[in-house]
A and B are shown apart, each in its own frame.
Chain A
Amino acid sequence: MQATIPKETPVSSQQIWAEYEDADLVKASQNGTLAAFDELIQRYQQRVYATVYHMTSSHEDADDLTQESFIKAYNALKRFKGESSFYTWIYRIAVNRTINFLKQRKRKSYHMSLNDMDMQVENHADLLMFISDNTPRRDVRLNELQEKMNEAMQKLSETHRLTVTLHDVQGMSHDEIGKIMDCNTGTVRSRLFYARQQLQALLSEYLS
């Protein structure tokens, strides 16, 4: 869209910004229009939050890190030249921040604070395949499976965990992951292979 970008708009008039493309919203945000940046937050917060959540296995940490990532992005927006998409850029900020956080967290004890599983998963074909056998109480098995998956994920290295999260959970392509992680697609494939191999060993009771 090549329409003129309004300079000052209150945050409440969000519907105006919903029509603009990322590049226009970035330009407006660079000029200090918070409403434009709010639209960018609305577009990407779920995906950024989900990635950070699957990396940390903690709702509170994911919430904090997502906020910090967007605030850092806004403050660094003047330096954003548009060489990559805003989407890749915000992901990189969030991923780097999360990896730094996880390195610090290694030295401390922490507990997982997992989000609830969406109710629609209960009838998902894959879930039925994994926990339908010998399940007197499916909800208990579901919680147990969720905890086991998160524990297994936390045992992977940060880069392997990130690769699995972006590819298998978020459904990103190798190319997109390569841009976010600043590596080639061959490295992405290799990391994915080793990460899945580890997960297979850790979750063998569900896969046999």
Chain B
Amino acid sequence: MNEHSAPHQKVKRLIALKKFETPPPGHHDLLASKIISRLEVEQLRARDPWHRRWVQSLNFNPILTTAYTAAIMALFAFGWHHGEHFESDGPVKSYGSADLRMGLMGLSADESNPKLNHLLGMADFTLEMSPRKSYSSIQPVVHIPGSLVPWLRESSAIQAGDSLWNVTP
């Protein structure tokens, strides 16, 4: 492999002519300015608080912008769809996990009661809300017939049908 062989010398001289390909005049001055400007912008952006950087990232990243817009639109659609259900006449049934309902019912104070926990954990509840009555505040009332917990079994404060939330295991 003799890299200095005669035919290769000719190729070498031909390829060397490529060094005469030069960018337009003033290109290198402009290039240096572009690099420094971009670095200065980066440094300024790094000093911004996180929420401003997030907003700026939306401007520069079309994929992120589209994703966030789609997520917001989905949330609006979801809210609108469920809002319509609440305004209709019929009762709205919703099903949720026992843990969620425990939180809603404010039963955390009785978490030490293993029987209650077992009952709530195992039961398949149906929660009902009557849309016809207006309430000044949310007052979840739970009635579990045959419950081991007296105040759940004897819903003395409310009459059947008046309860905001009827829970049937």
Residues of chain A at the chain B interface (Cβ within 8 Å): 11, 32, 34, 37-38, 41-42, 45-46, 49-50, 53-54, 59, 63, 66-67, 70-71, 74-75, 114-118, 120-121, 124, 126-127, 129-130, 145-146, 149-150, 153, 164, 168-170, 189-190, 192-193, 196-197, 199-200, 203, 206-207
Contact = CB atoms under 8 A, between A and B. Distances in A.
A121 B18 CA distance: 10
* Dominant secondary structure at the A interface: helix
The range of chain B's interface size is 20 to 34
Contacts of A196: 3, 8, 11-12, 15
A59 B23 contact: yes
B14 interface: yes
B52 interface: no
Interface of B is mostly: helix
A189 B3 contact: yes
Contacts of B35: 41, 45, 66-67, 70-71
Given A168-B15, A200-B10, 16 more contacts: A11-B36, A34-B39, A41-B35, A49-B28, A53-B21, A54-B18, A70-B35, A121-B17, A124-B17, A153-B15, A169-B15, A170-B19, A189-B3, A193-B3, A196-B12, A199-B15
A101 B3 CA distance: 29
25 contacts: A11-B36, A32-B43, A34-B39, A38-B36, A41-B35, A49-B31, A53-B23, A63-B27, A66-B31, A71-B35, A71-B39, A75-B42, A115-B21, A115-B23, A120-B20, A129-B13, A130-B17, A149-B15, A150-B18, A189-B1, A189-B3, A196-B12, A197-B8, A200-B8, A207-B14
Interface of B: 1-3, 7-8, 10-24, 27-28, 31-32, 34-36, 38-40, 42-43
A127 to B, nearest CB: 6
Contacts of A75: 42
A45 B34 CA distance: 12
Given A71-B38, A189-B1, A115 B22 contact: yes
A11 B19 CA distance: 31
B32 A41 contact: yes
B2, B14, B22, B31: most-surrounded residue (chain A CB, <10 A): B14
Contact of B19 (A42, A50, A199): A50
A89 B10 CA distance: 32
Contacts of B15: 149, 153, 164, 168-169, 196, 199
Contacts of A46: 28
B98 to A, nearest CB: 51
A116 B21 contact: yes
